[in-house]
Amino acid sequence: MTTFPQLGTPNTPSLKRKRGQKASCSSLPAQASLPSERPRTSTRHTAEEQEIEKHTRETVADPVQNWVLNETWPPEYFEPDEQAQEELSDHDSWLEEMMAQSPIPVVQYVERNGFGYPLPVKRAPASLRRKQSDSSLTESSEKDRERKSTSYRDARYTTMLETKGSFLRDFDHNIPQAILDICQRLLARDQIIPQNSLFCDDLFGKLCWKIQERNEAMVIQDVTRLIVPSAMNLAIYGDTHLDSLIESVNEAWVGSIPVEGPRPQPDYAVGFGRSAFTTEQLKRLGPLVGSVFDTSYFVATYRMYFPFLTCEVKCGAAALDIADRQNAHSMTIAVRSIVELYRAVKREKELDLEILAFSISHDQRLVRIYGHYPVIDGDKVTFYRHPIHEFSFTALEGKDKWTAYKFTKNVYDVWMPTHLKRICSAVDQLPSSLDFQVSDEPGAQPEEATGPSQDMGSLLSDPDNIDLASQEDEPNPFPQTATPDTSVSKGVGQGKVKRAKTTRVPKEPTGG
């Protein structure tokens, strides 16, 4: 057998030796690999990845393929569309607006001889008061009108009112017959209407054409006075029984204590002036109302006591719903004023399911009329709204164009005198000498202005931090007599009782 010589030399390892060395090297851990044996980068693999990345960047139509290639969903899935972003921004701005509102004042009650009387509350410092008084001036620009209704534009405001015991609906589906009767009477009773106006038959069609898609200022100028007649103008024309009424136009209710949100600023409002009461009645009301620099349950402005009618005008999509919310807030304040007055003489049960105020919302076509009433259940008071009538005053060639006008005049002529007697009967039972000079009592607890539910603003700000020093020397036009043995009744809130400033005058014999 021929033997072939072994390849290689002593200095050159054999192939078998090389294979053995490679086997032993391959058994070493990866981190022990020699530096010379670095993994090569595959040009082909890199090109494929670049092609896939390019394809992924260019094509995001198939979200599943995008997930398979990139393990993520297309970024477009996480970007809100313009409508959603606009709605989110709008809601956030509304919430910020509501959170920025001043806290609702906390009302303290003084107890005397078993009767509880709500104390007036000092307004904010002078700088804030100037800001508030500026807003009470007539505002003509559309921007100012929009700002006035900012707090009411969101449907969530309805829920906020409900947390304070005010509901934009009836208490029950079984409406009491007394409510139905008074509403029907006010709707059905005939009235004299103006003979020369834009609602005349030969002009009405042109008016409807003119006000289509126009702004609120135009509608107020040409229509509102024919929907809700001016009480003061009617008095000038000879309805002398209306001389005791006072009205406001786009004037902020700076003397009121709001229920939720800012103080109302209705387009039109009617209440009682000081001339509606005798000197003795004003004296009895004085300690409850305070000075012109105070806020209380019983006034809207320093001119207007016990408001009972408001009108709001709105134009645009869902505008009447905004007007309804504004009216609901205003009329909750109005009804509350009567309830608190009757509470002070322990007669509040007489007001259960009694309509104590009215509101009208309208635009360039539709009119909504409501009656507002309380439900008294022991110490619990809630407020409700009854829809009296809703109609289009432009339909059927204006068949119902005078309906709201006649209804409002009937409120002035039929309902208002009875309402004034109701107020005066309670005022006459107030003591003729009330003193709200109270000492600090650590255990005393004030009651919140709007009932047991806590105001959103009060969570953010403590009313005790408000500095009232700027108002200490301001005159009080309502003298208050001094009587001993007064104490602050316990309420549901927490806070320190402040000493109320009063002007002492000689005590007179009291009849109550």
Answer whether 69's CB lies under 8 Å from 56's CB.
yes
DSSP character at residue 413 = I
Per-residue confidence band for 64, with pLDDT thresholds at 50, 70 and 90? confident
High-pLDDT (> 70) share of the chain, %: 64
How far is residue 359's CA from residue 228's CA, in Å, rounded to a whole number? 10
Per the document, the length of the chain is: 512
**How does pLDDT run across 10-34, given as a tens digit for each residue?**
444 444 444 444 444 444 444 444 4
Give the residue, 225 or 39, on which the prediction is more confident. Answer: 225
Lowest-confidence region among 132-146, 339-353, 406-420: 132-146
* CB atoms inside a 10 Å sphere around CB 345: 17
pLDDT in tens, 315-333: 887 889 999 999 999 999 9
Tell me what the mean pLDDT of segment 99-124 comes to. Answer: 79
3-state secondary structure of 239: coil
**Three-class SS state of 362:** strand
| The predicted structure's pLDDT at residue 46 | 63
**pLDDT over 90 (residue 309):** yes
What is the percentage of the chain residues whose pLDDT exceeds 90?
Answer: 50
**Residue 496: pLDDT above 50?**
no
Which range (209-218, 243-252, 371-380, 488-497) has the least confidence? 488-497
- pLDDT of the residue at 120: 84
Radius of gyration of the chain (CA): 37
pLDDT at 86 over 80: no
CA–CA dist 61, 210 (Å, integer): 51
Pick the closest to residue 486 from 106, 114, 105 (CA basis): 114
Question: What is the pTM (predicted TM-score) of this model?
Answer: 0.68
What are 62's two structure tokens? 């198939």
CA dihedral 114, 292, 307, 355 (to 10 degrees): -10
pLDDT at residue 5 is higher than 60:
no
How would DSSP label each residue in 103-137? PPPEEPEEEETTEEEEPPEE---HHHHHHHHHHTS
Mean pLDDT, the chain, rounded, equals 77
Q: Are 310 and 335 in contact (CB under 8 A)?
A: no
Where does the pLDDT of residue 72 fall: very low under 50, low under 70, confident under 90, or very high at 90 and above? Answer: confident
Q: Which region among 88-102, 339-353, 356-370, 495-509 has the lowest average model confidence (pLDDT)?
A: 495-509
pLDDT at 253 (0 to 100): 96
Mean pLDDT in residue range 438-461:
41
Q: What is the pLDDT of residues 242-281, one digit of tens each?
A: 999 999 999 999 999 999 988 999 999 999 999 999 999 9
Question: Looking at residue 173, what is its pLDDT?
Answer: 85
- What is the per-residue pLDDT for 61? 63
Task: Give the burial class of 235: count Cβ atoms within 10 A of its Cβ; 0-12 exposed, 13-18 middle, 19 or more buried.
Answer: middle
Gap between the Cα atoms of 332 and 181, Å rounded: 22
Angle of CA points 303, 306, 309, to nearest 5°: 100
**pLDDT tens-digit series, residues 332-383:** 999 999 999 999 999 999 999 999 999 999 999 999 999 999 999 999 999 9
State the Cα angle at 331 between 458 and 146, rounded to 5°.
75
